[in-house]
Amino acid sequence: MEVLNMNKKWLLLFLLIPALLLAFWQVGIINHNDDEADNDMNGTSSTDIVSKEYEIEVLAEGLEIPWEIVPLPDGRVIITERPGRIVMLGVGEIATIQNVEHIGEGGLLGMVLSPNFSENNYVYIYYTYREGSQIYNRVSRLTLLEETLFEETVIIDEIPGARVHNGGRIKFGPDDKLYVTTGDAQQPSLSQDLESLAGKILRLNEDGSIPEDNPLPDSPIYAYGLRNPQGLAWQPESGQLFASDHGPTMQDEINIITPGANYGWPIVSCSDWDNEYEYPFICYLDFTLAPSGMDFYKTAAGETMHSLYVAGLRGNMIMRINIDSQTSSRSQTPILQDWGRLRTVVYHEGALYIATNNRDGRGVPSDNNDKVLKVTRINE
């Protein structure tokens, strides 16, 4: 009788093990596809993928922490450098913002052209500054005339600043409104404070006034509960806004931004979420990407899949995320892993413009860093 009982036990184990293995395999696939980077490149290295799919041209080198790249309608390109300079490729420095506080991650950061640039020549910038013992960030407007920037007009200021977590990306959306990312300025509780501009995505009219259709009455706040968002991009056709955010000890996020939504920081991070907050579209739990600037590669009208390219600082890569038009599926591939820290990626007329940040105090610079790269898809 005891031998029979033992045989039954072994039979049950024999039947259960395959079922358990199948269940774990299915769970692994679900988690992998939903939240984690798809690093399976079928035995092909990132370098091989780049050489087969992309052409890379070095447009500039010897720069100092380039933060934003802005192509002009006439083909010229202007770039912010964190110490406070704006340079034009092929020309050199065209402006120095005198009161920039270059401290830690702060300094001259984002830049964007007015939607009506061809009529007004307006260029908007985001930078860190000091008043007494206080550090702040502001958005200002300049006017570009040939190779000169002048006439600074403050659009919004007294955004809390600090040595780190200053946010700094500014973009005009499809609605011609100005969107501004701000960090928590090393005071995490400010991200949940609707009286503070820290840890937010702001939305403004061109002149700095508050749009009447903002989600919070008489407030520039468009979304909140963010830690240090540094990337904004709108998906083609759908117009859906995506934002990148630096997490604590990994836990970096790519979020779909909904007006008035709370993204949870510092109450929750993407490893311990609950339904009271917006869950990230992608959460990186296995490594630190440190996502910064990003942009969609604009494919032909009617395409059902769009590629979002995200610059990774500590990740030392561009993460290419393929997203369908319903934002219900995605796959990921790391590329450009041979250039060190990457700060931003900007799409313009069939090419990606990318800035390295190996001189920002956290990278390993070579003799010619930092650089601006022009990356073009082959057979596009």
Q: Are 80 and 110 in contact (CB under 8 A)?
A: yes
Residue 144 CB partners (closer than 8 Å, separation 6+): 72, 78, 121, 122, 123
Q: Are 137 and 155 in contact (CB under 8 A)?
A: no
Per-residue pLDDT of the chain (380 residues; tens, 9 = 90+): 333 343 444 434 444 444 443 333 333 322 222 222 333 333 344 555 666 789 999 999 999 999 999 999 999 999 999 999 999 999 999 999 999 999 999 999 999 999 999 999 999 999 999 999 999 999 999 999 999 999 999 999 999 999 999 999 999 999 999 999 999 999 999 999 999 999 999 999 999 999 999 999 999 999 999 999 999 999 988 899 999 999 998 999 999 999 999 999 999 998 888 889 999 999 999 999 999 999 999 876 667 789 999 999 999 999 999 998 788 777 999 999 999 999 999 999 999 999 999 999 999 998 899 999 999 998 75
Q: Are 42 and 333 in contact (CB under 8 A)?
A: no
Domains and CATH numbers, the chain: 38-377 (2.120.10.30)
Q: What distance in Å separates the CA atoms of residue 279 and residue 283, rounded to the nearest whole number?
A: 9
